[in-house]
Amino acid sequence: MMRHTIEVNGIKCYAHHGCLLEEEAIGGHYLVDVHLITNFSSAAAEDDLSKTIDYVLVNKIVVQEMATPSKLIEHVGQRIVNRIKSEVKALEKLRVKVVKLTPPINGDVANVAIIIEE
């Protein structure tokens, strides 16, 4: 059986996640990468969107889940994984990476990230 990869990378979101009150109030910039393993042989042969994973749906799920504030990006990442698994057909494997840009920690840190693979 063929295995194919679809990636939706660098989904930019401005969201209000964090344990600090100012993070929740002010918000910050995030990037989300979604890596999906599927079989899109039929879609490739027939040029048929209904036989593959729709990037628009993946983006919509990420944007909607990122819009709901959470204390932890781990929690947001798991919500994204859960939604994609429930709404996307023919999914074999999934990897979601949530990157928090310039986190408010004591240090010069470009970003922090979590990765969930299922």
For each of the domains in the chain, give its residue range(s) and CATH number, in order of start: 4-94 (3.30.1130.10)
Residue 100: active-site member: yes
* Residue 84 pLDDT: 98
* Residue 23 pLDDT: 79
103 against 75, higher pLDDT: 75
pTM of this structure? 0.94
* Residue 45 pLDDT: 96
Q: Looking at 12, 89, 93, 100, which residue is catalytic?
A: 100
* Residue 20 pLDDT: 82
CA distances for 35 relative to 7, 43, 49, angstroms: 5, 18, 18
Q: How far apart are CA 103 and CA 38, in angstroms?
A: 33
Q: Which of 34, 33, 54, 57 is nearest to 43 (CA)?
A: 54
Longest CA–CA span in the chain (Å) reads 53
Q: Quick one: pLDDT band at residue 106, thresholds 50, 70, 90?
A: confident
* Residue 25 pLDDT: 80
* Residue 103 pLDDT: 86
Q: How far apart are CA 61 and CA 110, in angstroms?
A: 26
Contacts of 110 by beta carbon, 8 Å cutoff, 6+ apart: 101, 102
54-77 tens-digit pLDDT = 999 999 999 999 999 999 999 999
pLDDT at 1 over 80: no
Looking at residues 75-88, what average pLDDT do you find? 98
